[in-house]
Amino acid sequence: MGPNLVTILLTSVTIYVLSRLITVFFSPLNKFPGPWYAKFTGLPGTIATLSYRQAQYYHRLHEKYGPFVRVSPNQIFVSDLEAFKKIHKVGSNFMKADSHHFFGPTEPGQPPYGLFAMTDKADHSRRRKLLARGFTTTSLRNGWEVIVREKMMDAIEGMRRDAAIQGGEVDVRKWWVLMASDTISRLMFGVSFDGLKTGKLKLSTAADNLQEDPWFNELKIANIGVFLAMSFPVFYATAKRLPVIGGFRIFKAHKAILRKGQVAVENSKKSSGNGSTSLFSKVLEQAGEEEKCLSDLDISVEAASFMVAGTDTTSNTLTYVIWAVLSRSDLQESLEKELADIEEPLTDASLEAVPILNAIIEETLRLHGAAPTPLPRTVPEEGVELGGHFVPAGALVATQAWTLHRDPRIFVNPETYIYSAVKQTS
Protein backbone atom coordinates (compact mmCIF):
# COMPACT_ATOMS: atom_id res chain seq x y z
CA MET A 1 0.00 0.00 0.00
CA GLY A 2 1.62 3.26 -1.13
CA PRO A 3 1.98 6.34 1.08
CA ASN A 4 -0.55 8.30 -0.99
CA LEU A 5 -3.23 5.64 -0.49
CA VAL A 6 -2.52 5.52 3.25
CA THR A 7 -2.86 9.29 3.42
CA ILE A 8 -6.17 9.19 1.56
CA LEU A 9 -7.56 6.47 3.84
CA LEU A 10 -6.46 8.23 7.03
CA THR A 11 -7.87 11.52 5.79
CA SER A 12 -11.22 9.90 4.93
CA VAL A 13 -11.46 8.20 8.33
CA THR A 14 -10.52 11.43 10.11
CA ILE A 15 -13.14 13.44 8.24
CA TYR A 16 -15.80 10.82 8.99
CA VAL A 17 -14.94 10.71 12.71
CA LEU A 18 -14.87 14.51 12.96
CA SER A 19 -18.24 14.82 11.21
CA ARG A 20 -19.74 12.34 13.66
CA LEU A 21 -18.25 14.17 16.64
CA ILE A 22 -19.59 17.49 15.36
CA THR A 23 -23.04 15.92 15.09
CA VAL A 24 -22.76 14.47 18.59
CA PHE A 25 -21.60 17.63 20.35
CA PHE A 26 -22.86 20.56 18.26
CA SER A 27 -26.07 19.43 16.53
CA PRO A 28 -29.11 21.70 17.07
CA LEU A 29 -31.02 18.48 17.76
CA ASN A 30 -29.13 18.13 21.05
CA LYS A 31 -31.73 20.44 22.58
CA PHE A 32 -34.45 17.83 22.13
CA PRO A 33 -35.02 15.20 24.84
CA GLY A 34 -34.40 11.55 24.06
CA PRO A 35 -32.37 8.48 25.00
CA TRP A 36 -28.62 9.05 25.36
CA TYR A 37 -27.77 6.79 22.44
CA ALA A 38 -29.85 8.84 19.98
CA LYS A 39 -26.87 11.19 19.57
CA PHE A 40 -24.86 8.31 18.17
CA THR A 41 -27.23 5.87 16.48
CA GLY A 42 -30.79 4.96 15.57
CA LEU A 43 -30.02 1.23 15.69
CA PRO A 44 -32.50 0.40 18.51
CA GLY A 45 -35.30 1.72 16.30
CA THR A 46 -34.09 -0.45 13.43
CA ILE A 47 -34.07 -3.51 15.70
CA ALA A 48 -37.61 -2.71 16.87
CA THR A 49 -38.70 -2.40 13.24
CA LEU A 50 -37.22 -5.78 12.31
CA SER A 51 -39.02 -7.24 15.37
CA TYR A 52 -42.37 -5.78 14.19
CA ARG A 53 -42.49 -3.56 17.29
CA GLN A 54 -41.66 -0.26 15.61
CA ALA A 55 -44.79 1.69 16.59
CA GLN A 56 -44.67 0.44 20.19
CA TYR A 57 -40.97 1.30 20.55
CA TYR A 58 -41.39 4.91 19.46
CA HIS A 59 -44.62 5.21 21.46
CA ARG A 60 -42.73 4.28 24.64
CA LEU A 61 -40.16 6.97 23.87
CA HIS A 62 -42.95 9.53 23.56
CA GLU A 63 -44.44 8.37 26.86
CA LYS A 64 -41.07 8.90 28.55
CA TYR A 65 -39.77 12.04 26.85
CA GLY A 66 -42.86 13.88 25.61
CA PRO A 67 -44.23 15.01 22.24
CA PHE A 68 -40.82 15.84 20.68
CA VAL A 69 -38.17 13.13 20.92
CA ARG A 70 -34.79 12.73 19.31
CA VAL A 71 -34.50 9.10 18.17
CA SER A 72 -31.30 9.16 16.08
CA PRO A 73 -28.51 11.61 15.17
CA ASN A 74 -30.64 13.25 12.47
CA GLN A 75 -34.27 12.45 13.33
CA ILE A 76 -36.95 13.87 15.61
CA PHE A 77 -40.24 12.10 16.34
CA VAL A 78 -43.28 14.33 16.77
CA SER A 79 -46.57 13.67 18.57
CA ASP A 80 -48.20 17.08 18.63
CA LEU A 81 -51.36 17.98 16.73
CA GLU A 82 -50.30 21.48 15.64
CA ALA A 83 -46.88 20.26 14.56
CA PHE A 84 -48.53 17.41 12.68
CA LYS A 85 -50.64 19.90 10.72
CA LYS A 86 -47.57 21.98 9.92
CA ILE A 87 -45.67 18.95 8.60
CA HIS A 88 -48.44 17.20 6.67
CA LYS A 89 -50.76 19.99 5.50
CA VAL A 90 -51.56 20.27 1.79
CA GLY A 91 -48.84 22.30 0.09
CA SER A 92 -46.30 21.62 2.82
CA ASN A 93 -42.63 21.78 1.83
CA PHE A 94 -41.85 18.77 4.00
CA MET A 95 -41.05 16.17 1.35
CA LYS A 96 -41.17 12.41 1.87
CA ALA A 97 -37.84 11.16 3.19
CA ASP A 98 -35.61 9.34 0.70
CA SER A 99 -36.22 6.16 2.71
CA HIS A 100 -39.53 5.90 0.82
CA HIS A 101 -37.49 4.86 -2.24
CA PHE A 102 -36.87 1.54 -0.52
CA PHE A 103 -40.56 0.65 -0.26
CA GLY A 104 -41.58 -0.89 -3.53
CA PRO A 105 -41.37 -4.10 -5.55
CA THR A 106 -38.04 -3.20 -7.17
CA GLU A 107 -34.52 -3.73 -5.82
CA PRO A 108 -34.48 -1.81 -2.49
CA GLY A 109 -33.72 1.85 -3.07
CA GLN A 110 -33.63 1.53 -6.86
CA PRO A 111 -35.96 3.05 -9.48
CA PRO A 112 -38.44 3.03 -11.02
CA TYR A 113 -40.49 4.25 -8.09
CA GLY A 114 -44.23 3.79 -7.76
CA LEU A 115 -46.64 6.48 -6.58
CA PHE A 116 -46.27 5.47 -2.92
CA ALA A 117 -42.46 5.65 -3.07
CA MET A 118 -42.05 8.87 -5.05
CA THR A 119 -40.47 11.78 -3.19
CA ASP A 120 -40.44 14.37 -5.98
CA LYS A 121 -43.57 16.52 -5.70
CA ALA A 122 -43.95 17.19 -9.45
CA ASP A 123 -43.47 13.53 -10.42
CA HIS A 124 -45.90 12.46 -7.73
CA SER A 125 -48.54 14.95 -8.89
CA ARG A 126 -48.35 13.79 -12.51
CA ARG A 127 -48.53 10.12 -11.59
CA ARG A 128 -51.39 10.68 -9.15
CA LYS A 129 -53.48 12.46 -11.81
CA LEU A 130 -52.87 9.61 -14.22
CA LEU A 131 -53.87 6.92 -11.73
CA ALA A 132 -56.76 8.75 -10.03
CA ARG A 133 -59.33 8.21 -12.79
CA GLY A 134 -62.32 6.21 -11.70
CA PHE A 135 -61.75 6.52 -7.95
CA THR A 136 -64.64 8.88 -7.16
CA THR A 137 -67.29 7.53 -4.81
CA THR A 138 -69.97 7.69 -7.50
CA SER A 139 -67.81 5.87 -10.03
CA LEU A 140 -66.88 3.13 -7.59
CA ARG A 141 -70.47 2.59 -6.48
CA ASN A 142 -71.95 2.57 -9.97
CA GLY A 143 -69.27 0.46 -11.58
CA TRP A 144 -67.95 -1.88 -8.94
CA GLU A 145 -70.18 -2.26 -5.88
CA VAL A 146 -71.80 -5.42 -7.27
CA ILE A 147 -68.39 -7.05 -7.74
CA VAL A 148 -67.21 -6.04 -4.27
CA ARG A 149 -70.38 -7.54 -2.76
CA GLU A 150 -69.83 -10.75 -4.74
CA LYS A 151 -66.27 -11.12 -3.44
CA MET A 152 -67.41 -10.39 0.10
CA MET A 153 -70.08 -13.09 -0.05
CA ASP A 154 -67.53 -15.56 -1.46
CA ALA A 155 -65.27 -14.84 1.53
CA ILE A 156 -68.10 -15.39 4.01
CA GLU A 157 -69.01 -18.67 2.32
CA GLY A 158 -65.36 -19.76 2.59
CA MET A 159 -65.43 -18.99 6.31
CA ARG A 160 -68.57 -21.10 6.71
CA ARG A 161 -66.87 -24.05 4.99
CA ASP A 162 -63.80 -23.75 7.21
CA ALA A 163 -65.96 -23.48 10.34
CA ALA A 164 -67.84 -26.66 9.39
CA ILE A 165 -64.64 -28.74 9.19
CA GLN A 166 -62.64 -27.00 11.93
CA GLY A 167 -65.00 -27.21 14.88
CA GLY A 168 -66.35 -23.71 14.44
CA GLU A 169 -62.93 -22.03 14.30
CA VAL A 170 -62.06 -19.79 11.35
CA ASP A 171 -58.97 -17.83 10.36
CA VAL A 172 -60.93 -14.77 9.27
CA ARG A 173 -57.82 -12.82 8.29
CA LYS A 174 -56.90 -15.43 5.68
CA TRP A 175 -60.26 -14.99 3.99
CA TRP A 176 -60.09 -11.21 4.16
CA VAL A 177 -56.65 -11.37 2.53
CA LEU A 178 -58.06 -13.52 -0.26
CA MET A 179 -61.12 -11.28 -0.61
CA ALA A 180 -59.03 -8.11 -0.79
CA SER A 181 -56.58 -9.63 -3.27
CA ASP A 182 -59.34 -10.92 -5.54
CA THR A 183 -61.28 -7.67 -5.35
CA ILE A 184 -58.29 -5.46 -6.13
CA SER A 185 -57.07 -7.67 -8.97
CA ARG A 186 -60.55 -7.69 -10.54
CA LEU A 187 -61.28 -3.98 -10.13
CA MET A 188 -57.82 -2.76 -11.02
CA PHE A 189 -56.84 -5.21 -13.74
CA GLY A 190 -60.00 -6.90 -15.02
CA VAL A 191 -59.15 -10.47 -13.95
CA SER A 192 -59.39 -11.87 -10.42
CA PHE A 193 -56.58 -13.99 -8.99
CA ASP A 194 -59.37 -16.32 -7.78
CA GLY A 195 -57.85 -17.03 -4.39
CA LEU A 196 -61.35 -17.24 -2.91
CA LYS A 197 -62.16 -20.24 -5.10
CA THR A 198 -59.12 -22.23 -3.98
CA GLY A 199 -58.53 -20.86 -0.49
CA LYS A 200 -54.95 -20.05 -1.54
CA LEU A 201 -53.29 -17.17 -3.32
CA LYS A 202 -51.81 -18.02 -6.71
CA LEU A 203 -48.95 -16.47 -8.62
CA SER A 204 -50.61 -17.03 -11.99
CA THR A 205 -54.08 -17.84 -13.24
CA ALA A 206 -52.70 -19.58 -16.33
CA ALA A 207 -53.44 -23.33 -16.22
CA ASP A 208 -49.93 -24.18 -17.39
CA ASN A 209 -48.18 -21.96 -14.88
CA LEU A 210 -49.96 -22.46 -11.57
CA GLN A 211 -47.63 -21.93 -8.62
CA GLU A 212 -48.18 -21.33 -4.96
CA ASP A 213 -47.61 -17.72 -4.01
CA PRO A 214 -46.87 -17.28 -0.28
CA TRP A 215 -47.81 -13.64 -0.73
CA PHE A 216 -47.50 -12.30 2.77
CA ASN A 217 -44.47 -14.42 3.61
CA GLU A 218 -42.73 -12.84 0.63
CA LEU A 219 -43.82 -9.40 1.81
CA LYS A 220 -42.41 -9.98 5.29
CA ILE A 221 -39.13 -11.28 3.91
CA ALA A 222 -38.91 -8.41 1.42
CA ASN A 223 -39.50 -5.92 4.25
CA ILE A 224 -36.59 -7.38 6.19
CA GLY A 225 -34.44 -6.94 3.10
CA VAL A 226 -35.62 -3.35 2.79
CA PHE A 227 -34.64 -2.46 6.35
CA LEU A 228 -31.28 -4.18 6.00
CA ALA A 229 -30.60 -2.23 2.81
CA MET A 230 -31.61 1.04 4.50
CA SER A 231 -29.74 0.48 7.74
CA PHE A 232 -26.69 -1.46 6.58
CA PRO A 233 -26.25 -0.57 2.89
CA VAL A 234 -22.64 -1.76 2.59
CA PHE A 235 -23.43 -5.09 4.24
CA TYR A 236 -26.52 -5.58 2.07
CA ALA A 237 -24.74 -4.69 -1.18
CA THR A 238 -21.86 -7.04 -0.35
CA ALA A 239 -23.94 -9.96 0.94
CA LYS A 240 -26.27 -10.11 -2.07
CA ARG A 241 -23.26 -10.60 -4.36
CA LEU A 242 -21.79 -13.54 -2.43
CA PRO A 243 -22.16 -16.99 -4.09
CA VAL A 244 -24.30 -18.70 -1.43
CA ILE A 245 -25.71 -15.90 0.70
CA GLY A 246 -26.76 -13.94 -2.37
CA GLY A 247 -29.27 -16.66 -3.19
CA PHE A 248 -31.18 -16.24 0.09
CA ARG A 249 -34.84 -15.25 -0.25
CA ILE A 250 -34.21 -12.01 1.60
CA PHE A 251 -32.45 -10.73 -1.53
CA LYS A 252 -35.01 -12.16 -3.97
CA ALA A 253 -38.43 -11.67 -2.35
CA HIS A 254 -39.06 -8.36 -4.10
CA LYS A 255 -38.98 -10.20 -7.44
CA ALA A 256 -42.00 -12.32 -6.45
CA ILE A 257 -43.89 -9.14 -5.55
CA LEU A 258 -42.97 -7.49 -8.85
CA ARG A 259 -44.01 -10.64 -10.69
CA LYS A 260 -47.43 -10.29 -9.06
CA GLY A 261 -47.69 -6.85 -10.64
CA GLN A 262 -46.54 -8.14 -14.02
CA VAL A 263 -49.19 -10.88 -13.98
CA ALA A 264 -51.83 -8.28 -13.09
CA VAL A 265 -50.80 -6.07 -16.01
CA GLU A 266 -50.81 -9.04 -18.39
CA ASN A 267 -54.32 -9.91 -17.20
CA SER A 268 -55.43 -6.31 -17.70
CA LYS A 269 -54.18 -6.29 -21.30
CA LYS A 270 -55.98 -9.56 -22.04
CA SER A 271 -59.23 -8.42 -20.44
CA SER A 272 -59.13 -5.11 -22.32
CA GLY A 273 -58.88 -7.04 -25.55
CA ASN A 274 -61.95 -9.04 -24.57
CA GLY A 275 -63.98 -5.93 -23.91
CA SER A 276 -63.74 -6.17 -20.12
CA THR A 277 -63.20 -2.96 -18.17
CA SER A 278 -60.96 -2.18 -15.22
CA LEU A 279 -59.74 0.85 -13.30
CA PHE A 280 -56.26 0.30 -14.71
CA SER A 281 -57.32 0.00 -18.36
CA LYS A 282 -57.15 3.78 -18.88
CA VAL A 283 -53.60 3.78 -17.57
CA LEU A 284 -52.64 1.13 -20.11
CA GLU A 285 -54.32 3.08 -22.90
CA GLN A 286 -52.46 6.26 -22.01
CA ALA A 287 -49.15 4.62 -21.10
CA GLY A 288 -47.53 5.64 -24.37
CA GLU A 289 -48.78 9.23 -24.53
CA GLU A 290 -46.23 12.00 -24.49
CA GLU A 291 -45.50 13.42 -20.99
CA LYS A 292 -47.35 10.48 -19.46
CA CYS A 293 -45.20 7.74 -20.91
CA LEU A 294 -45.01 4.72 -18.63
CA SER A 295 -42.90 1.70 -19.47
CA ASP A 296 -44.14 -1.83 -18.88
CA LEU A 297 -41.91 -1.90 -15.79
CA ASP A 298 -43.43 1.37 -14.48
CA ILE A 299 -46.91 -0.07 -14.86
CA SER A 300 -45.93 -3.36 -13.21
CA VAL A 301 -44.40 -1.47 -10.27
CA GLU A 302 -47.63 0.49 -9.80
CA ALA A 303 -49.71 -2.67 -10.10
CA ALA A 304 -47.67 -4.49 -7.47
CA SER A 305 -47.74 -1.43 -5.21
CA PHE A 306 -51.55 -1.25 -5.40
CA MET A 307 -51.77 -4.94 -4.55
CA VAL A 308 -49.56 -4.50 -1.49
CA ALA A 309 -51.22 -1.28 -0.32
CA GLY A 310 -54.77 -2.53 -0.74
CA THR A 311 -54.52 -6.14 0.41
CA ASP A 312 -52.74 -5.86 3.75
CA THR A 313 -54.51 -2.70 4.91
CA THR A 314 -57.99 -3.95 4.01
CA SER A 315 -57.59 -7.42 5.50
CA ASN A 316 -56.04 -6.17 8.74
CA THR A 317 -58.76 -3.56 9.25
CA LEU A 318 -61.60 -6.02 8.59
CA THR A 319 -60.02 -8.52 10.98
CA TYR A 320 -59.86 -5.98 13.79
CA VAL A 321 -63.43 -4.81 13.11
CA ILE A 322 -64.73 -8.38 13.40
CA TRP A 323 -62.68 -8.97 16.56
CA ALA A 324 -63.89 -5.71 18.13
CA VAL A 325 -67.55 -6.61 17.56
CA LEU A 326 -67.43 -10.31 18.46
CA SER A 327 -65.45 -9.70 21.66
CA ARG A 328 -68.13 -7.30 22.95
CA SER A 329 -71.58 -8.88 23.12
CA ASP A 330 -73.30 -5.57 23.89
CA LEU A 331 -71.69 -3.97 20.87
CA GLN A 332 -72.67 -6.89 18.64
CA GLU A 333 -76.28 -6.68 19.83
CA SER A 334 -76.44 -2.91 19.25
CA LEU A 335 -75.00 -3.25 15.76
CA GLU A 336 -77.39 -6.05 14.79
CA LYS A 337 -80.38 -4.00 15.96
CA GLU A 338 -79.19 -0.98 14.00
CA LEU A 339 -78.67 -2.95 10.78
CA ALA A 340 -82.03 -4.74 11.15
CA ASP A 341 -83.80 -1.41 10.68
CA ILE A 342 -82.17 -0.76 7.31
CA GLU A 343 -84.01 -1.83 4.19
CA GLU A 344 -82.48 -4.66 2.18
CA PRO A 345 -80.32 -4.91 0.19
CA LEU A 346 -77.65 -3.17 2.23
CA THR A 347 -75.59 -0.85 0.03
CA ASP A 348 -72.61 1.42 0.54
CA ALA A 349 -74.89 4.44 0.27
CA SER A 350 -77.43 3.11 2.81
CA LEU A 351 -74.65 2.30 5.29
CA GLU A 352 -72.78 5.57 4.87
CA ALA A 353 -74.47 7.37 7.75
CA VAL A 354 -75.30 4.45 10.08
CA PRO A 355 -74.08 5.77 13.47
CA ILE A 356 -72.94 2.66 15.38
CA LEU A 357 -71.38 0.95 12.36
CA ASN A 358 -69.39 4.03 11.42
CA ALA A 359 -68.36 4.64 15.03
CA ILE A 360 -67.04 1.05 15.16
CA ILE A 361 -65.04 1.60 11.98
CA GLU A 362 -63.64 4.91 13.23
CA GLU A 363 -62.68 3.52 16.64
CA THR A 364 -61.10 0.43 15.10
CA LEU A 365 -59.03 2.60 12.77
CA ARG A 366 -58.00 4.75 15.74
CA LEU A 367 -56.65 1.92 17.88
CA HIS A 368 -55.80 -0.65 15.22
CA GLY A 369 -55.20 1.39 12.09
CA ALA A 370 -53.57 -0.32 9.13
CA ALA A 371 -50.80 2.30 8.89
CA PRO A 372 -49.73 3.03 12.49
CA THR A 373 -45.99 3.44 11.87
CA PRO A 374 -43.81 6.54 11.20
CA LEU A 375 -44.24 8.91 8.27
CA PRO A 376 -40.76 10.47 7.91
CA ARG A 377 -40.43 13.84 6.21
CA THR A 378 -37.39 15.94 5.30
CA VAL A 379 -37.18 19.43 6.82
CA PRO A 380 -37.18 22.09 4.05
CA GLU A 381 -34.26 24.44 3.41
CA GLU A 382 -35.57 27.19 5.70
CA GLY A 383 -35.67 24.82 8.67
CA VAL A 384 -38.52 24.69 11.19
CA GLU A 385 -39.19 25.35 14.86
CA LEU A 386 -40.73 22.45 16.75
CA GLY A 387 -41.33 22.30 20.49
CA GLY A 388 -39.51 25.61 20.92
CA HIS A 389 -36.31 24.37 19.26
CA PHE A 390 -34.92 24.87 15.76
CA VAL A 391 -34.64 21.88 13.43
CA PRO A 392 -32.22 22.47 10.53
CA ALA A 393 -32.81 21.73 6.86
CA GLY A 394 -32.19 18.12 5.86
CA ALA A 395 -33.05 16.68 9.26
CA LEU A 396 -35.88 14.17 9.44
CA VAL A 397 -39.12 14.59 11.37
CA ALA A 398 -41.62 11.77 11.74
CA THR A 399 -45.13 11.35 13.11
CA GLN A 400 -46.96 8.10 13.73
CA ALA A 401 -50.68 7.44 14.02
CA TRP A 402 -50.16 4.86 16.79
CA THR A 403 -49.09 7.61 19.21
CA LEU A 404 -51.31 10.44 17.97
CA HIS A 405 -54.37 8.19 18.26
CA ARG A 406 -53.49 7.45 21.89
CA ASP A 407 -52.92 11.05 22.94
CA PRO A 408 -55.02 11.84 26.07
CA ARG A 409 -55.01 15.51 25.02
CA ILE A 410 -57.11 14.51 22.01
CA PHE A 411 -59.04 11.37 23.06
CA VAL A 412 -60.82 10.55 26.31
CA ASN A 413 -59.50 7.28 27.81
CA PRO A 414 -57.35 6.72 24.70
CA GLU A 415 -56.37 3.11 25.43
CA THR A 416 -60.00 2.02 25.88
CA TYR A 417 -62.09 0.86 22.94
CA ILE A 418 -65.24 2.99 23.10
CA TYR A 419 -67.31 2.62 19.96
CA SER A 420 -68.79 6.08 20.38
CA ALA A 421 -65.34 7.55 20.99
CA VAL A 422 -65.54 9.33 17.66
CA LYS A 423 -68.03 11.65 19.39
CA GLN A 424 -65.98 11.94 22.59
CA THR A 425 -62.86 13.67 21.30
CA SER A 426 -61.87 16.67 23.35
Mean pLDDT per 10-residue section of the chain, whose length is 426 residues: 65 72 80 96 92 95 98 97 95 93 89 92 87 81 92 96 94 94 86 85 43 62 85 87 87 86 78 67 64 77 87 93 95 95 92 93 95 96 96 98 96 88 46
Residues 221 and 272 in one domain: yes
Last residue of a domain, one of 297, 319, 341: 319
- What is the spatial distance between Cα 67 and Cα 407, in angstroms, rounded to a whole number? 10
Residues 219 and 207 in one domain: yes
On whether residue 3 sits in a domain, the answer given is no
Looking at residue 275, its pLDDT comes to 57
Residues 160 and 268 in one domain: yes
Q: What is each CA distance from 285 to 84, 132, 267, 269, 347, in whole angstroms?
A: 39, 14, 14, 10, 32
Residues 423 and 374 in one domain: yes
Last residue of a domain, one of 319, 347, 380: 319
Looking at residue 203, its pLDDT comes to 44
Task: Residue 57: give the domain boundaries.
Answer: 25-94+328-426
Last residue of a domain, one of 284, 319, 354: 319
The residue among 313, 356, 306 whose CA lies nearest residue 331 is 356
On whether residue 202 sits in a domain, the answer given is yes
Number of folded domains that form the chain: 2
Strand 396-400 relative to strand 68-72, pairing? unpaired
pTM for the model:
0.85
Residues 260 and 146 in one domain: yes
- What is the spatial distance between Cα 232 and Cα 248, in angstroms, rounded to a whole number? 17
On whether residue 19 sits in a domain, the answer given is no
Residues 109 and 254 in one domain: yes
Looking at residue 323, its pLDDT comes to 96
Please list, in sequence order, all residues whose beta carbon lies within 8 angstroms of the beta carbon of residue 125, skipping any fewer than 6 positions away.
none
Looking at residue 117, its pLDDT comes to 92
Residues 312 and 240 in one domain: yes
On whether residue 16 sits in a domain, the answer given is no
Taking phi over 0 as left and psi of -120 to 50 as alpha, with beta for the rest, 109 belongs to: left
The torsion angles phi and psi of 133, rounded to 5 degrees, stand at -60, 135
Residues 131 and 169 in one domain: yes
- What is the spatial distance between Cα 180 and Cα 109, in angstroms, rounded to a whole number? 27
Q: What is each CA distance from 189 to 92, 127, 158, 397, in whole angstroms?
A: 33, 18, 23, 37
Residues 117 and 41 in one domain: no
User: Helices 296-326 and 215-231, interaxial angle, to 10°?
Assistant: 110
On whether residue 80 sits in a domain, the answer given is yes
Residues 312 and 173 in one domain: yes
- What is the spatial distance between Cα 257 and Cα 306, in angstroms, rounded to a whole number? 11
Is the Cα dihedral 294, 298, 304, 309 positive or negative? negative
Looking at residue 147, its pLDDT comes to 93
> SS3 for the chain, per residue?
CCHHHHHHHHHHHHHHHHHHHHHHHHCHHHHCCCCHHHHCCCHHHHHHHHCCCHHHHHHHHHHHHCCEEEEECCEEEECCHHHHHHHHCCCCCCEECHHHHHCCCCCCCCCCCCCCCCCCHHHHHHHHHHHCCCCCHHHHHHHHHHHHHHHHHHHHHHHHHHHHHCCCCCCHHHHHHHHHHHHHHHHHHCCCCCHHHHCCCECCCCCCCCCECCHHHHHHHHHHHHHHHHHCHHHHHHHCCCCCHHHCHHHCHHHHHHHHHHHHHHHHHHHHHCCCCCCCHHHHHHCCCCCCCCCHHHHHHHHHHHHHHHHHHHHHHHHHHHHHHHCCHHHHHHHHHHHHCCCCCCCHHHHCCCHHHHHHHHHHHHHHCCCCCEEEEECCCCCEEECCEEECCCCEEEEEHHHHCCCCCCCCCCCCCCCCHHHCCC
Looking at residue 265, its pLDDT comes to 79
- What is the spatial distance between Cα 337 and Cα 328, in angstroms, rounded to a whole number? 14
- The CATH number of the domain holding residue 245 is 1.10.630.10
On whether residue 12 sits in a domain, the answer given is no
Q: Which residues of 68-87 are buried (b: 16+ CB within 10 A; e: fewer)?
A: bbbbbbbbbbbbbeebbebb
Residues 161 and 260 in one domain: yes
- What is the spatial distance between Cα 376 and Cα 370, in angstroms, rounded to a whole number? 17
On whether residue 17 sits in a domain, the answer given is no
Residues 53 and 168 in one domain: no
On whether residue 102 sits in a domain, the answer given is yes
